[in-house]
Amino acid sequence: MRRSLLKKRLRNLTILVGRYYLDHYGISNSAKVIRALLGYAGEGLNVDELSRSYLSITMANLVVNDLVHAVTASLNDYVRYREFRVTYDEEDWGPVDVARTISVYPNGLYASLTYLPTNRSPEYVLLKEMAVRSLKLINKVRNNVVGIKPKLGEIGDKFNEPMAGELESRINALGDAIKRLRGLINRLPKPSIRYSGDELLSEVRKLLPYSPPWFIRAYNAYLLSIHLLKPILIAQRRLRISRRNLVLLGWRLYEIFVYTLLLSIFIENGYRIVSGNPRRILLIKGTEEVLVLFNSALDNSIISDVNGDTGIAERIRGRPDAAVSSNERVIVVECKFSSNPTYITAGRFKAMAYMHEYNANLGIVAFPDLAVGMAYDEEDKATEGLWGMMVKGGGIARISLRNGGVLYMVRVDPAEKDEPGENWEISKLRLTKVLKHVLNLQ
């Protein structure tokens, strides 16, 4: 894939579906964001301004929610931390301190030594420091986003208006969460010393191996907050080395692109979403139900057990990049964000494996284009031949199987034309044409 063309595809993918990245990959807390996004992008591209704002506010909400949970849990948990001190009471609460008791005994009191609850342990002091610093960073993120006026003309109101409305909703939710966090922070002890950023991280990391879960959760939230003011990048791959940014992966965005195209086709054909999460959505039109899945196993796998173990059988089931199940009709989709014929050949056979496992009526291999002249073996040369047929056939090649199934090779290219919105419509038209093979669509 040529560098200039790759950049164009990555840029268009972020504009079209970048905002869905966290939701569709089930990234629901700071720790998951760090594991999934933190890395070195090399010559990565900056995501567009509106998508960056949306992702930043989404991650800021995760940070604040994690901190609210951590501080609340710490306040409920602080009874486990105690310090040794003298108490004066009509009853003794431990060993009597005779010297102190002599002076108060005329008043009917005893001086005794006991352990009392305290929140002055190092974890609580460091927790407050992390929460306060995170809050300052989150406020900067929020103020930066509030000051941005979405550029609705870039790819059309159809794409930007829903995102702008959802962005406003998430900004408001963040404001409410910030107010709650401020109130909780005030209940934590004040630190007796000031830490630099490096000193704070050093002190926190010393305690991590022995810390309660809420302290670790706060640490992950603080770590993520540090990166939220940095650029968010998109790249083909991410390296886990010391120099780090938040990085979206192009092949993951491509899978989301194809999945959202499928969803939009059903919605535009009169189906409405009735339930589900971003990875498993149920749509209904009249009496017909359609289940659209993302990176998930279907329920009708032919795999029964592994050496009698059904649990292992469930874990080894295939998980198509996207799938559709409707009235015993099954469609499986394999996405390949590549021009390499070897990679696309592997996708062709993988799609047929999914079709066999789930008895699918229709299989789809979606990819942007193919680089001719890079074939490794005869199977790759056959794939090059299929690409030649696709070029002549409007971006589609149909492979009929003897068991009655059909496998389609479909060009889905986010950079086929210059405008992202135009590429969306072209790809949607091709996928609609293919889906009509087994579904009643307009």
CATH number at residue 296: 3.40.1350
Q: Are residues 70 and 152 in the same domain?
A: yes
List for the chain the helix, strand, coil content (%; round to 5). 50, 20, 30
Contact (Cβ atoms closer than 8 angstroms) between residue 38 and residue 242: no
Helices 3-17, 420-435: inter-axial angle, 10-degree rounding: 80
The pLDDT of residue 160: 59
pLDDT in tens, 354-377: 999 999 999 999 999 998 887 788
Q: What range defines the domain where residue 359 resides?
A: 252-436
Is 3 exposed, middle or buried, given 0-12, 13-18 or 19+ CB atoms closer than 10 A? exposed
The structure tokens listed for 48 are 């567009």
Q: Is residue 144 part of a domain?
A: yes
For 169-217, what is each residue's pLDDT tens digit? 888 899 999 999 999 999 888 777 788 888 888 989 988 888 889 999 9
Are 392 and 269 found together in one domain?
yes
Residue 152: per-residue pLDDT: 40
Which pLDDT score, from 0 to 100, does residue 156 have? 47
Residue of 288, 287, 283 lying closest to 271 (CA atoms): 283
pLDDT score of 241: 61
Q: In this structure, is residue 442 part of a structural domain?
A: no
Yes or no: say if 326 and 289 are a contact pair by the CB < 8 Å rule. yes
- Please give the pLDDT value at position 93: 63
Final residue belonging to a domain, choices 116, 140, 173: 116
The DSSP 8-state label assigned to residue 376 in this structure reads -
Specify if 441 maps to a domain.
no
Residue 166 shares a structural domain with residue 31:
yes
pLDDT given for residue 119 in this prediction: 52
- What is the phi/psi pair of residue 367, to 5°? -155, 155
Looking at the fold, whether 270 and 326 belong to one and the same domain comes out as yes
Let me know if residue 130 belongs to a domain.
yes
Q: Is residue 284 domain-shared with residue 217, that is, in the same domain?
A: no
Angle at 26 between CA 23 and CA 31, to 5 degrees: 110
In a domain, 415, yes or no: yes
For helices 30-37 and 213-227, give the axis angle rounded to 10 degrees: 50
Same domain assignment for residues 159 and 261: no
Q: List the one residue out of 234, 174, 177, 224 whose CA is nearest residue 51.
A: 234
**Alpha-carbon gap, residue 111 to 120, rounded angstroms:** 23
Structural domain contains residue 396: yes
Q: Are strands 272-277 and 245-249 parallel, antiparallel or unpaired?
A: unpaired
* Alpha-carbon gap, residue 51 to 54, rounded angstroms: 5
* Boundary-marking domain end, from 116, 139, 173: 116
Listed as own residue / partner, the contacts of 152-159 with beta carbons closer than 8 Å and 24 or more positions apart are 154/15, 154/48, 154/50, 155/15, 155/16, 155/419, 155/420, 155/421, 156/421, 158/421, 159/15, 159/16, 159/420, 159/421, 159/424
What is the spatial distance between Cα 283 and Cα 289, in angstroms, rounded to a whole number? 6
Domain co-membership, 208 together with 93: no
Q: Look at residues 193, 219, 249 and tell me which one is the last residue of a structural domain.
A: 249
Residues 66 and 195 in one domain: yes
Same domain? 421 vs 303: yes
The domain total for the chain is: 3
pLDDT means per 10 residues, the chain with 442 residues, are 85 92 88 90 84 92 96 78 61 73 79 61 87 94 76 49 74 92 88 81 88 93 94 84 81 96 94 88 92 93 91 93 92 95 94 95 95 84 92 94 94 94 95 90 72
Structural domain includes residue 388: yes
pLDDT at position 163: 66
Residues 270, 185 share a domain: no
Residues 89, 205, single domain; the answer is: no
Is 371 part of any domain? yes
Identify whether residues 260 and 137 lie together within a single domain.
no
pLDDT in the model for residue 101: 77
What does the alpha-carbon distance between residue 270 and residue 442 come to, in Å, rounded to a whole number? 10
